[in-house]
Amino acid sequence: MSTITDTRSTLTGLTPLPPASGRAGFGGALRSEWTKIRSVKSTVWTLAAAIIISVGISTLGNWGQASHTSLSAADLARRDLVQRSMFGIMLGQLVMVVFGALAITSEYATGMVRTSLTAQPRRLHVYFAKLVIVTVIAFVVGEIISFASFLIGTHFWATKGVDLSLSSHGALQAVIGGGLYLDGAALLAFGVGAALRHTAGTITVGVFLLFVVSIIVNFMPDSWQADIDKYLPANAGGQVWATQHTADVGTAFGAWAGFAVYICYAVIALLAGLLVFKRKDA
């Protein structure tokens, strides 16, 4: 209990506000979106889960493979061990989808979007501020995952006589690319989420695009596979975190061309989300 002795008139007890400095701007929108994201338990949990699950699975997978392989060091060196070391990204992308989805759909689930848009009626400000925050956070978390996975993985492969480091051929690009790939997954889900406004639906669509489409194509005849395969989001985007770009079937894109295709999916989703966010009643 506190005793408040200063009870002058209405609000004089409060520190006076600085004078209003024009319109609510993009800087304010950015700060408010950052506060929203960091102050909610589900976001923090999702990101923590992304890191723990991805790095954990990378560690487990590399330990298992390195300790059981019958291949010689020379054979191993011909494989894309850089990509393999970041194996956990396969799971991490799913958690990133959940993060990207929740960043926008949770506003609809709670009805908070109405508060947000009353505070900042210029919807593009809100949308892009959210987008910037999601992009930056997903990038940082993504890079933490890819670097941690890679650095841990090198230890296991070193026991097999394979010397991997960031200065290995293409390694730095692939490891940075791993984080970028995860970032792309979050952005894709963010766009879909803005368009669908439904958490479960968004996660389902994200899972479909990143995982399930590949399963379907796997069942197709080889001649079809070769053409379709490389355009699938996961396969195109996968090039940026690989050091070898010729897939088993057909020819794959190069690292950055593949990433560009991958980002196209995200951009399409983001544009669709933008239209819905701007036009549709909140």
Least spacing, CB of residue 145 vs another protein, in Å: 15
Instruction: Report how many residues bind another protein under the rule CB under 8 A.
Output: 48
Distance CA 42, CA 98 (A): 10
- CB neighbour class for 258 (10 Å; exposed up to 12, middle 13-18, buried from 19): buried
C-beta of residue 39 within 8 angstroms of C-beta of residue 120: no
Provide the Cα torsion 150, 154, 155, 158; round to 10°. 170
Find the binding residues for another protein in span 157-216 (CB under 8 A).
Answer: 199-201, 203-204, 207-208, 211-212, 215-216
- Using the structure block, give the residue that is written with the tokens 């819905």: 276
Is 91 an interacting residue with respect to another protein (CB under 8 A)?
Answer: yes
Is 5 an interacting residue with respect to another protein (CB under 8 A)?
Answer: yes
Q: Mask: binding to another protein, 103-132, rule CB under 8 A, as x and -?
A: ------x-----------------------
Among 25, 64, 161, 254, binds another protein (CB under 8 A): 64
Q: Which is nearer to another protein, 52 or 267 (CB)?
A: 52
Is 60 an interacting residue with respect to another protein (CB under 8 A)?
Answer: yes
Q: Which is nearer to another protein, 14 or 74 (CB)?
A: 14
Distance CA 208, CA 85 (A): 25
Among 37, 51, 57, 192, binds another protein (CB under 8 A): 57
Least spacing, CB of residue 235 vs another protein, in Å: 16
- Using the structure block, give the residue that is written with the tokens 């406004």: 197
Least spacing, CB of residue 215 vs another protein, in Å: 5
Interacting residues with another protein (CB under 8 A): 1-11, 13, 42, 53, 57, 60-61, 63-65, 67-68, 87, 90-91, 94-95, 98, 101-102, 109, 199-201, 203-204, 207-208, 211-212, 215-216, 219-224
